Homo-oligomer: A and B are copies of this chain.
Amino acid sequence: MPHLFTAARARPDPVKRIADPTVRRLSLYLRFLEEFEGAGRTTISSGELAQSGHTTPAQVRKDLSSFGSFGKRGLGYGTHDLVAHIRQILGLDRTWRLVVVGAGRMGSAIAQFPGFRDRGFHVVGIFDLDPRRIGQTLAGVTIADVCHLEADVQRLRADIAVLALPPAAAQSIATRLAQAGVHALLDFSTAPLTVPAGVTVRRMDLAMELEVLSFALTNR
């Protein structure tokens, strides 16, 4: 069956072939490490990281070992050091230019999400269809008309787009963004998108998560 998300198939190994769950955990570890670092801890063991992230020490070590040997035996990992490594692995040693498409309640909340800017994600554009919204300012950015999406996205050199749209509109916007060279989409709408190879999509599906909770409550 044609699997339409052929995303990270291009080269077989930047280092090996990293599983998605591993990447997600790295992101978690990073947050704890930053906390630990802020608290003045200079080293941390896989066990401590595991506890913070609700996982196991072996998992932590495996995750990190896909990228190199960052720890010292008998001691643990140097906090500062490991922060730097993980930031580099995740590509957080630079800033990313974000656009938000859809300036409704959800889009507005996302655009103003605290902790975007400080983590290197800069909202450089916000788009909407509604003439009453266009021209308003949100998080220091003026809402633009979605009709020049392609040109604006290229001019703004956007790396990532966040879609906060009604499901009916999401697919067409996704296609336009992909065509305009945006290779990463975060989709808050409820319909899964079909995108060209080379474009990565992550879904934030509120309804789905609630339904999983409903299942859990029903079958416990």
Residues of A within 8 A of B (CB): 1, 3-5, 7-8, 10-11, 14, 18, 20, 23-24, 26-28, 30-31, 47, 50-57, 89-92, 96, 98, 104-106, 108-110, 112-113, 115-116, 119, 121, 159-160, 183-186, 190-192, 194, 198, 200, 202, 204-220
Contact = CB atoms under 8 A, between A and B. Distances in A.
A30 B93 CA distance: 41
B214 A91 contact: yes
A206 B113 contact: yes
A216 B192 contact: no
A105 B112 contact: yes
Contacts of A105: 108-109, 112
6 contacts: A1-B51, A28-B192, A91-B214, A184-B213, A186-B206, A198-B220
Contact of A220 (B8, B57, B98, B115): B8
Contacts of A23: 211-212, 215
A96 B218 CA distance: 11
